[in-house]
Chain A
Amino acid sequence: MSEFDVAVIGAGPAGSSAAIRLAQNGMNVLLVERGDPPGTKNVSGAVLWGNELAKVVPDWERSAPVERYVTRKEVAFLTEKSKIAISFSSEELQNSKSGKIIVRGKFDQWLAKKAKDAGAMLVTGVTVDRLAIDNGKVIGIQQDNDVITADAVVVAEGANPRVLINSGLRPKLSDRDVALGIKETIKLPENVINERFNVDSKSGFASEFVLGFLDDGLLSGGFLYTNKDTVSLGIVASLDRLRANGVTHSYDIMGKFEEHPFIKNLIKDGIPDEYAAHLVPEGGISSMPKLYGNGYLVAGDAAAFTFSNGMVLQGINYAITSGILAADTIIENRNNINENTLAKYVDKLRESYVLSDLYNFNGIQNVTWSDFVQKSLPTLAESVMMSLFDEKGMPKKHLRQIVTDAMKSGHMKYSDLITNGYRVIKRM
């Protein structure tokens, strides 16, 4: 007899959602988290996209610590001197409350408490070293020489999967598997945020940035989200491009982003309150570990269920859904946990948006992280816009001529524009 039906490693969105679902179904659950309280080790933007949360906490609106709802979403391309943005506001987006801006320090603590309320045993301040494996079967979790036994283990340890690596269940990560995320939280009075971002106290602004202005082959995406009385500002930088660059410090990329004239204005007079860094899975299906085995399942970032390509950044929603599906697989097979029964987890993931999204968007990072999208396209657009809008008291040229001139000055051919443009559209 095991001490627990299920042990869950990590009280992030994946682990806590799994624990809630399991406990709600009468399972005896242990939820182990190294941060004390939960959330103190985590870093995220963070916008929680979608309404997956309702599946584990139906009345989340009454108690979830939401800073603001996304009512205006932007994707912006930054060149050295310009910003070219696509801005989207919609009453529908406003009503569906699809984007919730959260602070993980508060949110994770709240969600872990929901697991505890549902009946899971929450243990904080404990770092799991590895899975306890006996005869090829996972029988629990291990710290130093202490083993706690469980019939099944949900591994939800996040983007730096030490437990899986230590247990020999996945290889070490490489440059292509992850990117480095750096984030700063900056204090600004609520009324200043409202005015500056043209929002009211409940509504919020979320923007992703393509940082094509960075020199020397660096590739990076940026983000800015408005909380209640702070702003979350950050970058996600590609490690292999940083390695190829060989002279720039990762934190200098963050510095350059902050110093960009259009960003500087947005955080003016703000008081920096926290600096943080974390890995972001970005390898998609090619860096996915085996998602199940005899006695264990892997959910959330530990399974590489994140999207990060410099234009979108999503993972909390996949974490919650995969946590729930891991729990459901265990619940349905509670009396017969083995490799074959747990394999049904993958079917569930395939039927859901989690694996469909990952397969559908497979390889998109090669496009969105490409020089074409990061540099050529924004520079071309900048040049065209300048010709159109910078009034010099001269007769305007025909638009086609303007584009052709801009392409010439950017050493770009029509054929490149068409083939690259096609690749982008095909991948979107």
Chain B
Amino acid sequence: MKIEEKLSLLNYKTDKSYAHITINPDICSTCPDHFCVFACPANCYTLINGKLNFKYEDCVECGTCDIACSHGSVKWTLPKGDNGVIYKYG
């Protein structure tokens, strides 16, 4: 099963007005390792033509990317209120 299919099993209450994680594209454009891409279990960080693409909508709020990025690009907060992923089993 592909990661996209696994993620499609999840329920979210997406906050369209607030991205709880943001990155600084200037820092990412010179990043030597892109560890965020390998670390994120929800495939939120992808490289498209060598350029980092980040989407917060699939985030499962684990906190890994904040640790993974050792270049200070990631600004990490929790979603506001009860927005974000909603686990059934957890």
Contact = CB atoms under 8 A, between A and B. Distances in A.
Interface residues of B, number: 38
Interface in A3-62: 34-36, 39-44
B87 A39 contact: yes
Contacts of B37: 249
Nearest to A39: B90
A273 B66 contact: no
A150 interface: no
B6 A272 contact: yes
A43 B90 contact: yes
Interface residues of A, number: 53
B61 interface: yes
Contact of A126 (B35, B61, B68, B81): B81
Given A173-B63, A274-B9, A275-B10, A42 B3 contact: no
Interface string B58-87: 001111101110000000111111101111
A175 B63 CA distance: 12
Contacts, number: 136
Contacts of B77: 162
Contacts of B85: 40-41
Interface string B20-57: 00000000000001010111111100000000000000
A105 B87 contact: yes
A276 B60 contact: yes
A40 B86 contact: yes
Contacts of A173: 63, 66-67
Interface string A96-133: 00000001110010000000000000001111000000
A274 B39 contact: no
B90 A42 contact: yes
A180 interface: yes
Contacts of B87: 39-43, 105, 274, 276
Given A39-B87, A43-B90, A273-B9, A34 B81 contact: yes
A251 interface: yes
Nearest to A254: B41
Contacts of A104: 89-90
A276 B82 contact: no
A216 B39 CA distance: 15
B89 A36 contact: no
Contact of A239 (B10, B39, B82, B86): B39
A146 to B, nearest CB: 12
B16 interface: no
Contact of B89 (A182, A230, A251, A258): A230
Contacts of A35: 82, 86
Contacts of B79: 127
A151 interface: no
Contact of B62 (A103, A124, A126, A180): A180
B89 to A, nearest CB: 4
A103 B41 contact: no
Given A42-B90, A172-B67, A230-B89, A124 B38 contact: no
